[in-house]
Amino acid sequence: MNSEQAKKLSLPDLLAKLGHAPVRETKGGYELWYRSPFREETEPSFHTSFIGGKWIWNDFGDKGGTVIDFVMRQQNLTSIKDALAYLDEMFQPGLFSSPTLRPQTRPDLFSFQQQAHREAVENFSADRQLELIDVQPLRHFVILKYLTEERHIPADLAQRYLRLVRYRNNGKEYFAFGMENQAGGYEIRAASSRHNFKSALNARDITIIPGTAAGRSTAHVFEGMTDFLSFLVLNGVQESPDDCIIMHSLSSFHRTVAHIRSQNYKAVKTYLDNDKAGQQGTDRFKAEFGAMLLPRGEAFAPHHDLNAMLQAQRSGQNSSSLFR
């Protein structure tokens, strides 16, 4: 990628990859505040804002700039070429993309939930890099081989919830596995253990999968598709009796909260990653829902996430049920 393309990448996505979650959000979610990634601190002094079609950052104890400037500072690099190479590796060469937020006017006219939905629908600009070609049933050998052999997700379960998504980037065609979200877009992920590339096509939003039990009053919240599928495998079922919410990104926190508040749940169980960003995300949910929030990270500790637990066990047959 070149410098102009790199400057359009999502700095919040990069920060999340590095284990940093925002402490607070202002300006309708278009300004995010973090504890500085450059030093230890208790009060956030680092913030990033979406201005002029790209994310910029400022740090009260340091300096500021674009995504490239951040990488050079954070990785102690001296050349733009090295920074671009680093971003290529982080976002997977040739498959970079960022959910580009479009600032809203008069946000006071919208309720919290309406605003969350509008962000989901409008969070990609007209000049976005990725173009959806089509969506097909998941029969691709490479993807199924990756999911079954590396992720230990049975093919029939993957085919039940996932799709083959073909898309175009800068004139070249690619494929990935994906899941439809509530805004009608597709959250996609590369079938590769070398590159942790994931993005969204048309719109970014959460996915809600209703449970099968009558009168269900519990919601399970997952960071990603493979976490949700691993949860089913570990419990030996193909459907959850309770509602499941797949965030796809920790940046979907407000949309997740808005949906939960619109329901009559008595309990919310979160299965966020056992890392710094996951813990911060769990803490934010705890602040919103108090005793109603039941973090389940310890259920798969010391593993990083549910799929890591599944891979370690090779089979969910001997694991205790996570529904309990």
Which amino acid, one-letter code, is at 294? L
d(CA 178, CA 175): 9
d(CA 25, CA 20): 14
Residue 112 pLDDT greater than 70, yes or no? no
Specify the CATH class of 3-91 in words: alpha beta
Residue 186 pLDDT greater than 70, yes or no? yes
Residue 95 pLDDT greater than 50, yes or no? no
Q: For position 106, what pLDDT does the model report?
A: 29
DSSP state at residue 29: G
Residue 99 pLDDT greater than 80, yes or no? no
Q: Where in the chain is the domain with CATH 3.90.580.10?
A: 3-91
Q: For position 316, what pLDDT does the model report?
A: 53
Fold for 207-313, please state it.
Dna Topoisomerase Vi A Subunit; Chain: A, domain 2 (3.40.1360)
Cα pseudo-dihedral 309, 245, 285, 124, rounded to 10:
110
pTM flag (> 0.85) = no
Residue % of the chain over a pLDDT of 70 = 83
pLDDT in tens, 58-68: 988 677 899 99
Residue % of the chain over a pLDDT of 90 = 50
Tell me the average pLDDT across 29-33. Answer: 83
Q: Where in the chain is the domain with CATH 3.40.1360.10?
A: 207-313
Q: For position 114, what pLDDT does the model report?
A: 38
